[in-house]
Structure formats: C-alpha cells, structure tokens
Structure 1
Amino acid sequence: MVHQSFNSYILSLLEVIAANYQQLLREPNDGENIHQLRVLIRRIRPGLQLLIKEQHSPKKRQQLCQSRDVLIALFKTLSQIRDLQVQAELFRSLQTQSNEYPADLNDYTKRLEMDIKHHQHQFIPIVQSLNIPDAIPQIKTCCKKNNQQKKIRAHANVQRKKTRDRFKQSLNKLAEQPETFHKVRIKLKNYRYMLELYEQIAKKGKAKRIQQLKKMQEQLGNAHDFYNAVRLMQHYQLEESTINQARVRYLQARNHAIEQLLAK
C-alpha cells in the first residue's frame, strides 16, 4: 500500500471522483463505473468528516458540509440504479447456472430491466442537478489549506477505535441475532474505510487487516444481494414458490457468511 499524507490522500480521491463523474456523464449505463464511484465516495467520507472537524471558520465548515452532502446525494442516486443492476446480473447468472428456477423469473428479470431503464431516463438530469463540479473544488481548496496533519492523525485514530469497537459489538450479537447481519455489514464498512484512511496517514501496517475486512464485507454482500432479491420479488408479487427459493438461497448465504465471520 502506497502511503500518503492526509491532504494528498483526499486530493487523490477527489481527482479520481472527478474523472469517474465525467465518465458517468459520457456513459451512464457503465455499471462498473457506477460501482467504483460509490466505493470512492465511501472512502472519502471519513476524511471529509475529519476535515470538517478541523475547520475553524463557520463559513468554510458550512461549505464543506454542503459539499459532503452533495457527494452523499450522488451516492444515494447511484445506489438506486446500481442495486437494480446487481439484481439483474445476479439472476441472469443464476438462470445460466441452473434450471431450478421457475418460469416467472423471466418476468422478474424483465421487470428489473424495465425499472433500470426508467431510472436511467431520469438519472443524468438528477446527477447534473447535484452540482458536483462546484463541490469538488470547494473540498480541494479546504484540503490544500489544511495544516492540521498531526491533529487529524490523532482524531483518525480515535475514530478508528470507535468504528472498530462498534463493529465488534455488533459482531458479538450476530450468532444469536442473525437478522442483524445488515447492521453488522454497515458497521464493518465504516470500520474498514476508517482503517484505510488511518493506514494511509499513520502507516501502522494494517494492510492485512484491511484485506480481511474486505473479504468479510464481500461475504455479507452476497447474502445482502439475496435479501434484496426476496424483497423485490415480494414487491413484484411473484409466485410464493419462487420467492421461497430465493429465500432459501438468502438464508444459506447469510448463514455461511455469519459462520465465516465468527470463525475469524
């Protein structure tokens, strides 16, 4: 892992976000770019919170908060379409792997694709209305003027410990309360991205732990995809037998993920 100062780390993330945003405007159907943009926003959020904390000017703090909120709004907009894309990819894959799934799954994937097209029709106007081109330079300006590297490092360490402890507390409940797996997943993400930031600026040799957290996140993500599938099938009013098959796959994926997490 290449180590950077806090300022250079945030600035490098902003450069990639800006490039991927332009790619989004050119190719709004590029699912991988949408995914990467969401990951980048997750990565930069803990850094923005630290930058806001160290901003003494009320006006600059307000500007930073507004820019952060613009990125969060972009994330939520991207998530609406990306969640549907993931579902369509998941069930196209399942249909090619097995003949077990009922015929009304064809209807399910068609309705997903119709929903994706509906979102794509509104997608770019919504994204353009968020004014990303103004938000990114505002963050860059504040970041370049930031001279509180030592204090930010100390605050990052405090936040790292807080997110770690919250994750561990949620993990301890998981065996008896498996339905809480989504909350565990959120706390895991918060810890992972805070730890990534801390490792970049403090160089504490946490690369292996970050990879472990990423693997855990992927396992919980697989279960969450099937959880969303059950929810969407119920929304589309598919046959109960079809929903039950997806529910079985969800429970299998969830239980496997929990087993793997608790074994670590």
Structure 2
Amino acid sequence: MKLTENQVTDQNLYLNRRQFVKSLTAAGLLGTPFIANALDFSKNPDYQPRLKLTDPEHALHYNNFYELGTSKEDPFRNADKLNTDNWKVVIEGECSKPTTFDMDDLLKLEQEERIYRFRCVEGWSMVVPWIGFPLAKLLKQVQPTSKAKFVEFVSIEDSNLPGQRFRILDWPYREGLRMDEAMHPLTLMATGIYGEALPNQNGAPIRLVVPWKYGFKSSKSIVKIRLVEKQPFSSWMVATPSEYGFYSNVNPNVSHPRWSQAKERPLGSFFKQKTLMFNGYENEVAGLYKGMDLKKYF
C-alpha cells in the first residue's frame, strides 16, 4: 500500500520516542499513573512500518477500560485502583501442560516492539508501538491438545475496581479467539507501550493485541487463558448480541447497527480517514476467513 507523507513517522520523533515519553513523565504531563519502567526489548524489522505514531498524550489518556470506569478519562483517573502486584496468568483447559505463569516468567520470553494500527469499534483509531511476544509462543509451552479449538481470555475481577461495582457487563470480562487466530504471528501478548511497561489504564501488566479486530477483542489485564473445544461467549456478545459478534474483524463494509464503520478518526486529529479492510492487515489474515460470509460472521 502506498503511504502518503502524513502517514509516515517523522524520523527524529521515531528514533527518540522513548526519550520523549520520559521527558513528558518527568515534566508531569503524563501524570502519575504512567510510571516510566523501561523494558528490555528488540525491534523486529518485520513489524516496524513507517506509520505516524499517535502522540502518547492521547494514547495514554483516552481509553476504554470499563473495569476502571465508563468515560474515556476514567481509566487514567482511576489507574491506581488496579493492583498488579504478584500478577499471575493461569493457562488451563485442553492442554497437556496446564501452567501458572507469573510476570517474571512472561518477561523472560523474548520481548519485541511492534508498531500496530489499532481500531476501536466506536470509530476512533491510533498507531502505537507495543512491546510483547507472540501469543503462539506462550500457548506452545502448554501443549494444546487436538480438542483445543478456541482460546478464552479472562480479565481481572476485583471489588476495588470502580467500574466493576456496576453490572455494566457480566464480570469478569471475557473474550475469545479461534485457535488459528490465536496462533497467528500478528497476535501479540503486550507487556509494554512506547518503550515502557504497560501503564494500568492500558491494561497492565499484560494484555492481548489483535490488530485486525476491533479493540474490544484485545482483552486487558488478563489473569486466565482457557483452551476450549466450543466457541466461548465474549462479554459484549452476552451484553448486546445484536451489535457485537464473536469475530469482530475490522470491516468498513459492515456497519455497526448504530453507525458506519467506513471511516475512522485518528486520535489527535479533527479529520477522518478511510477504514482499511482488516485494519490494513488484509494480506496477512484474509486467508483465515476464506469462504466465510463476513456479514454473517461479523
């Protein structure tokens, strides 16, 4: 795809974004919930497209994380309510080696930076440099059996989280992928963003990133991963089944029942741009859905 000039990252900003984030933190412009905690990571050249990065001031302050509140500012404002000490991720179900991992285990996996587009179902978008590792690398360690057809992700449930005091959703938050989607090279378990550890408002200490799907598919603050034989029900499917399907692939040709998905507004911009099929990852993932009616399996 040919990129226009305004889609290309300024080279100086790209090379110095970690210093940029640290300077904002030191000046107090990012607020206390973002703690500059550098991660040890490499840059995979296969995932370093020259896309214009979203200013971290936007990406770290404009979030959907209903466990911390329903407004876009709530996750940042309530970030200190999320306790990530002694975090563990349990992997169980249809696997030969069910395992409980702590964050030290997960951070020992080789971390790499990947710059991905991110598209929210609400019609806004961003481009951010995630840090993490392929989900496939983690799942292979527990040796999925032939019965493992789907992967279910379960997020934190904690009475101290202000959003979970209300039954907006059936807590804990749950999401799911088909096994081939979960094992796809693009599917990332993210531990950081903008060169630093994930801040709480962005789903600390570990979250899912599936760049060709709407953002709500990318579960935050994951505590359990279950390998299952039958398709799981995600939280938004249960809450509003007529609006949110299991697949939720970015598709500009299929409107949300209440708004068009043909365009999106990048954070920090007043102008909209065309939404790309599969969020710009059509060449990589379209084969996963060959022969499927994407209007039916939305």
TM-score (norm 2): 0.24
TM-score (norm 1): 0.26
Q: Which has the higher contact order (CA 8 A, sep 6+)?
A: 1
Which structure: larger Rg? 1
Between Structure 1 and Structure 2, the one with more helix by share is 1
